[in-house]
Chains A and B, each alone.
Chain A
Amino acid sequence: MSTRVIAGRNRYAIPEEKGKNIWEQIKSAFTTGGFDVPFLVMVTLLTVIGLLMMYSASYEYSRVHNGGPAAIFLKQLYIAVPSYALMIVISKVNLDFVKKCANIVLLVAVGLLVLCYVLNIGKDIKRHIDIGPIQFQPSDIAKFALILYFAYAMDKYQKPGYLNASKHGTAFLQETNKWERFMVRWRPTLVYCGVLVLIDGLVVIESHLSATIIILGIGAMMMFIGEQRIPGWVYFLGIAVAVVVIVVVISNPDILLKFGLKQYQVDRITAFKNPLEGDLSGDKWQTANSLMAIGSGGLFGRGLGKSVQKLLYLPEPQNDFIFAIVCEELGFVGAMLILLLFAALVFRGFLIALHSKDRFAALLTMGIMIQLALQTILNIGVVTALLPNTGILLPFFSQGGTAIAMLLGEMGLVLAVSRQAREVKL
């Protein structure tokens, strides 16, 4: 039975499921209906271009370090192809089923983060879990878990019956004291903040700066959209303070010494300020070579596969700094087109969200698109030396099995949302 809800009065109804046999229950976990074709086309384009550029960027590095020019590319391809198929399968999943998984996924993510921390005690790099040859970052799962849980919670607490259904009924509320009333009113906000602090805290102790920033960004933006109590100006005040702090720190990094930071940490920021001056070895090496690659691109680039900087100048060109190679090979025009493609995908994703069948679907989609947008923007910011080097991957482009699998899975969920849209046409 289709769970498609007729537009109108009962938009957020949960379908009746009692009394069904197992087969019908399984069937109800999937859905039918057409998905958003433009979104799929853009995802496919980015996946193909991303793989192609990854092959080009990794060619020399792979030849020297991995025993063959195609070794890194093939490894990525073998994950990307099944992931793409999985995306299509996921696009058929019933969102109500997904919603039910939110709590479990959150628990699993937190469990993995703790496990990761415990397993890596005493090691320098604490962000991976190794299962045989496979290495994955629990923070990738944590990002998705946060999005899913926020969408679920923000939907649950918004339901008209939330106050009544809770043991603190409306009538009870009126009779009880101020403190209890405050607690009931702010309970959702406290839950969001609590979950965000828990997850981000676990990522912070893994010394994973880029994931910390991304998770904080996703959490803040989703709360801005779906949280009820905090007024809008608080967010903008927060942004304003952050901007001022960043500007002050960047213009005068020595100020950080007064706040207990070490000299080498200050040096990193100084390094980022003048990427091509002074001693280029060490921290500056990657950024300097990235800029030289980008600068060598010109308007139309050197041509696909003709990057010079990838020839062992730029370390691991297939990772964080792959966009520099894109710029060098495809030029300003090519780089702009790719950036535009990312922007269009985010735009389309939001459009799908705004036309989705319920609050959960909308928030889930927006969360996913926020993550994609933040990663893209921060990555390009680092590559072009607008931001200090933090190690953020470029979605669809950078090498990384977990990343591409998670990303395509998430794209599958967006497609699922588009299948179960409130209106057939967007």
Chain B
Amino acid sequence: MRRHTTGDRMMMRAVIALGVLLIVGFTSGAIGIARAMIVRGETYREKAEQGQLRDVEEPAPRGEIVDSSGNVIASSTDVKRVYINPKKVNDYENKDEIIRLISEALVPILGIAEDKVAKQASYKNYSDMTLKGKVDEITMEKVNAFLDTTVTTKMKVLVKGADDDAPEEEKYRIVTVDKDAKDAAKFSLFVGSSRDTIRYYPLGTFAANVIGFTGSDDTGRTGLELYYNKQLTGTPGRTLVAKNATDSNIASEYATHTAPIKGSTLKLTIDQEVQRFLENSLEQARIDAKAKAAYGIVMDVNTGAILGMAAQASYDPAHYQELADSIKLAEIEAITDETERKKALNEAILAQWRNGAIDLTYEPGSVFKIVTVAAGLEEGVVNLNTSYTCTGAIQVENRTMHCHNRNGHGTEDLTHGLMNSCNPFMITIAQKLGVHKFYKYFDGFGFTEKTGIDLPGEAEPKPGISIHAEKDMKVVELSSCAFGQSFEASPIQVISAVSAIANGGKLMRPYVVAQVLDENGAVIEENKPTVRRQVVSEDTADKVAAMMEQVVQAGTGKNAYVAGARVAGKTGTSQKLSAGSGYVASFSCFAPADNPQVAVLIAIDDPKGQINGGQIAAPPAAEIIEQVLQHRNVPMQYTAEEEKQLAAKAPTVTGLTIAAAKELLTKADYTARVVGSGETILRQFPKAGTTVATGGVVVLYTSNDNTEPMVKVPNLVGMTVSQANAAAAAAGLNVSFSGNFASSTKITSKQSIETGAEVPAGTVITVHFVSTSGVTDSTLGED
């Protein structure tokens, strides 16, 4: 019996336990939920929505942009943002006075509008209204000094036990805390600062048209800053701050904090050195040609990587709203009409942001002839032995198309046709190909599509507008296209096509960003060389490259000849189709011709005076390619004549007696000049091993304390190689040659040290040679 009672007892107690759990436990749970959700729900919701808790975003620094060797081009640095807390201000009876005091102090420090403080403080329900962003450290010190001062405050306090319906005066009492009181509030109660970032460009105008700039909101507006904005933008940090409602100091504690993550770094293919060579030569060329603008691209022909890209005149991305081109600025300031002036200034500022290297379209002109020749060779309609007789004009349907040489080039083979930039020959090749086959290469070399470079605003070829659609291309259009007229292309399209010839017929996608790196330098994204297609066979490409080398050695591209560099190139001069007037002089080249490494394109927009590519675009291209090849340690291949010039090096004479030194120098075809009264040579200038043209002067010092004799630099411009050499020697100086110095017809165009400068005797002056004859190729042959 007892067993049964205990069993029943357990049952009974189990039921009681269940009852307690369900009735007491779960019911109180339900009551808890109801209380929090229904009874107090409204209060809690309001609290949640109110600024009781402040969610502060901490801006993340934007990623850096660095060149191919890691030099910083664009970077972000921390500054401060100053804000007012209107909610706090409005807690006080004397808020107008507080606002006035803040305004009086901060307006001169921050340079904000007179009513800015009052206006921002009027947003009563907010606790963070910006007064000024991007405040630098020095200004911030002044702001903080002010914020540390105290202020008299009058706060309304609810009287305990006051009736709800009581009039204001009875319900509240005013508590005044004098600014001299121990617990006086500081201005930092109302005004605070938080982190902000500012973009800066340590190299100034360097590659500005490629890099672009950021707006005041720290997002990219043009260039790479825009194209890679997503990668460059970091993840902002967040801080949720619990605010204390009763304490008069903003005693806040971080409850949840996530640190900001810096944006990714862009590592460019652009090489700082190459870009400098490009910008320097291009800007000089622009100024010399009095041109509106000048564009230049240096490309690695094997990968499509852009080593340098410039659009002059450039601008400073840190001050993008200021016109950087002083010549243009002077022109604009000369405009008398105020509205006209402003309009012109605005237009000029907008124009300086553009990157003409990718967004300008112009008729490529004769440069395009290499495409026509490559197509003809590839399709077998011509070969290297094909000859043509140019009479100076050719009849196409009912019109006569002229060659730039109206007298005709006479009978010429294909290589000479290209060297002479002969229009009728090109027309004949295109006509032999026919529209379909010609268009295949027009399309193949990328003239009907964007190159796909990773930059915003690349010009897009539009059939019917900037190019002919295949179906609209009749014999007249075909004939004018053959020598690069009647359609437009962008510089990047042209250099891509030229690079395809240099790269064994493979058309590459050009790119500017090599890698996207995270904070620790690990690669997140990578642009790998992309072959768009094989346009022509390697054999054809090599043949065209060899012809282009001839163009530079003896054709219209003579001014791009660089001793030992084996430059292959093609000149171009054309009218701008869409603009209605003006010319674009261009030159495209690559080197070395037998194993091409880099391609350079120079396009000079709207030059005055000399307008031919061979005259004004080839010389800067030569300067650039010479420097780039040296920078990249590409071995030079000199001709025997050049070899002789270059082999001339100052011999070692230090330690010898004066007589022995003189004998040695005379033997080597140098003149000796002795300074000092010693017996033996202590040092020599130029130093042993320095390249010094034969006939030069070597200064011999016999004692160490002698001051160096100074001489004046003579004018060497306009002289031939031998004249320059003689003039320099006469002045006690030495010369070294760059550019096209192999032939005696060349004259100097530049000297590395200005005329009239005082330099030590024996100094080596680099003299650059260009040619003036046989370099015109105006393709304006159509009547």
Q: Which residues of A contact B (CB under 8 A)?
A: 64, 158, 160, 221, 224-226, 228, 232, 276-282, 284-285, 288-289, 291-298, 308-309, 312-313, 315, 327, 331-332, 335-336, 339, 342-343, 346-347, 350, 353-354, 359, 362, 366, 370, 373-374, 376-377, 380-381, 383-386
Residues of B close to A336: CB separation below 8 A: 30, 33
Find out whether the CB atom of B53 lies under 8 angstroms from the CB atom of A280.
yes
Residues of A close to B100: CB separation below 8 A: none
B77 on the A face (CB < 8 A): no
Find out whether the CB atom of B17 lies under 8 angstroms from the CB atom of A339.
no
From A277, A280, A297, A350, residue with most partner B Cβ within 10 Å: A280
**Which A residue's beta carbon lies closest to that of B25?**
A377
Find out whether the CB atom of A298 lies under 8 angstroms from the CB atom of B17.
no
Query: B246 CB to closest chain A CB, in angstroms?
Result: 6
Find out whether the CB atom of A225 lies under 8 angstroms from the CB atom of B44.
no
**Which B residue's beta carbon lies closest to that of A313?**
B240
Residues of B close to A64: CB separation below 8 A: 258
The dominant DSSP class at the B interface is: helix
Contact partner of B44 (CB less than 8 A), chosen from A294, A331, A347, is: A294
Residues of A close to B247: CB separation below 8 A: 279
B321 on the A face (CB < 8 A): no
B157 on the A face (CB < 8 A): no
Query: B303 CB to closest chain A CB, in angstroms?
Result: 34
Query: A379 CB to closest chain B CB, in angstroms?
Result: 9
Find out whether the CB atom of B14 lies under 8 angstroms from the CB atom of A354.
yes
B632 on the A face (CB < 8 A): no
Residues of B close to A346: CB separation below 8 A: 18, 21-22, 26
B41 on the A face (CB < 8 A): yes
Residues of B close to A284: CB separation below 8 A: 242
Query: B53 CB to closest chain A CB, in angstroms?
Result: 7
Contact partner of B33 (CB less than 8 A), chosen from A224, A232, A288, A332, is: A332
Residues of B close to A366: CB separation below 8 A: 14, 17
Instruction: Give Cα distance in the complex from A275 to B438, angstroms.
Output: 81
Find out whether the CB atom of B13 lies under 8 angstroms from the CB atom of A295.
no
Residues of B close to A386: CB separation below 8 A: 28, 31-32, 35
Find out whether the CB atom of B3 lies under 8 angstroms from the CB atom of A280.
no
Query: A389 CB to closest chain B CB, in angstroms?
Result: 14
Query: A364 CB to closest chain B CB, in angstroms?
Result: 12
Find out whether the CB atom of B14 lies under 8 angstroms from the CB atom of A380.
no
Known: A295-B44, A332-B38. 10 other contacts (CB 8 A): A225-B14, A277-B245, A280-B242, A293-B48, A294-B44, A309-B48, A313-B240, A339-B29, A362-B14, A373-B26
Instruction: Give Cα distance in the complex from A210 to B691, angstroms.
Output: 88
Instruction: Give Cα distance in the complex from A295 to B40, angstroms.
Output: 7
A278/B37 contact (C-beta < 8 A), A295-B47, A309-B48 known: no
Find out whether the CB atom of A295 lies under 8 angstroms from the CB atom of B10.
no
Find out whether the CB atom of B25 lies under 8 angstroms from the CB atom of A373.
yes
Find out whether the CB atom of A312 lies under 8 angstroms from the CB atom of B240.
yes
Instruction: Give Cα distance in the complex from A226 to B17, angstroms.
Output: 11
A296/B44 contact (C-beta < 8 A), A279-B244, A347-B18 known: yes
A158/B29 contact (C-beta < 8 A), A313-B256, A346-B18 known: no
B81 on the A face (CB < 8 A): no
Find out whether the CB atom of B238 lies under 8 angstroms from the CB atom of A295.
no
Q: List 14 A-B contacts (CB under 8 A).
A: A225-B10, A294-B37, A295-B45, A296-B45, A315-B256, A332-B37, A335-B33, A336-B30, A346-B26, A347-B22, A350-B18, A373-B21, A377-B25, A386-B31
Instruction: Give Cα distance in the complex from A232 to B244, angstroms.
Output: 49
Find out whether the CB atom of A291 lies under 8 angstroms from the CB atom of B253.
no
Find out whether the CB atom of B243 lies under 8 angstroms from the CB atom of A280.
yes
**Which A residue's beta carbon lies closest to that of B3?**
A160
Instruction: Give Cα distance in the complex from A354 to B12, angstroms.
Output: 10
Contact partner of B52 (CB less than 8 A), chosen from A158, A280, A327, A384, is: A280
Residues of B close to A350: CB separation below 8 A: 14-15, 18
From B37, B52, B243, B255, residue with most partner A Cβ within 10 Å: B37
Find out whether the CB atom of B47 lies under 8 angstroms from the CB atom of A276.
yes
Residues of B close to A280: CB separation below 8 A: 52-53, 242-244, 255
Find out whether the CB atom of A339 lies under 8 angstroms from the CB atom of B14.
no
Residues of B close to A296: CB separation below 8 A: 41, 44-45, 48
Find out whether the CB atom of A228 lies under 8 angstroms from the CB atom of B34.
no
**Which B residue's beta carbon lies closest to that of A297?**
B37
B339 on the A face (CB < 8 A): no
Residues of B close to A385: CB separation below 8 A: 32, 36
Instruction: Give Cα distance in the complex from A362 to B35, angstroms.
Output: 36
Residues of A close to B744: CB separation below 8 A: none
Find out whether the CB atom of B35 lies under 8 angstroms from the CB atom of A384.
yes
Residues of A close to B194: CB separation below 8 A: none
B350 on the A face (CB < 8 A): no
Residues of A close to B149: CB separation below 8 A: none
Tell me the chain B residues, 241-281 only, with Cβ under 8 Å from chain A.
242-247, 251-256, 258
Find out whether the CB atom of A384 lies under 8 angstroms from the CB atom of B33.
yes
Query: A69 CB to closest chain B CB, in angstroms?
Result: 15
Contact partner of A224 (CB less than 8 A), chosen from B3, B13, B41, B242, is: B13
Query: B691 CB to closest chain A CB, in angstroms?
Result: 60
Find out whether the CB atom of B17 lies under 8 angstroms from the CB atom of A221.
yes
Query: A97 CB to closest chain B CB, in angstroms?
Result: 23
Find out whether the CB atom of B242 lies under 8 angstroms from the CB atom of A381.
no
A381/B10 contact (C-beta < 8 A), A279-B242, A343-B22, A366-B17 known: no
Instruction: Give Cα distance in the complex from A160 to B11, angstroms.
Output: 18
From A284, A312, A385, residue with most partner B Cβ within 10 Å: A312
Residues of B close to A383: CB separation below 8 A: 32
**Which A residue's beta carbon lies closest to that of B251?**
A279
Find out whether the CB atom of B41 lies under 8 angstroms from the CB atom of A295.
yes
Find out whether the CB atom of A327 lies under 8 angstroms from the CB atom of B240.
no
B43 on the A face (CB < 8 A): yes
Instruction: Give Cα distance in the complex from A220 to B353, angstroms.
Output: 80
Residues of A close to B31: CB separation below 8 A: 386
Residues of B close to A228: CB separation below 8 A: 6
Find out whether the CB atom of B255 lies under 8 angstroms from the CB atom of A285.
yes
**Which A residue's beta carbon lies closest to that of B254?**
A281
Query: B369 CB to closest chain A CB, in angstroms?
Result: 57
Contact partner of A380 (CB less than 8 A), chosen from B13, B32, B42, B45, is: B32
Residues of A close to B3: CB separation below 8 A: 160
Find out whether the CB atom of A297 lies under 8 angstroms from the CB atom of B26.
no
Residues of A close to B37: CB separation below 8 A: 294-295, 297-298, 327, 331-332, 335
Residues of B close to A276: CB separation below 8 A: 43-44, 47
**Which A residue's beta carbon lies closest to that of B14?**
A225
From A228, A295, A327, A353, residue with most partner B Cβ within 10 Å: A295
Instruction: Give Cα distance in the complex from A293 to B53, angstroms.
Output: 13
Contact partner of B28 (CB less than 8 A), chosen from A158, A277, A342, A377, is: A377
Find out whether the CB atom of B28 lies under 8 angstroms from the CB atom of A381.
yes
Instruction: Give Cα distance in the complex from A158 to B26, angstroms.
Output: 31
Instruction: Give Cα distance in the complex from A413 to B433, angstroms.
Output: 87
A312/B10 contact (C-beta < 8 A), A295-B36, A350-B18, A386-B32 known: no
Instruction: Give Cα distance in the complex from A366 to B22, angstroms.
Output: 13
Query: A248 CB to closest chain B CB, in angstroms?
Result: 19
Contact partner of A232 (CB less than 8 A), chosen from B13, B32, B256, is: B13
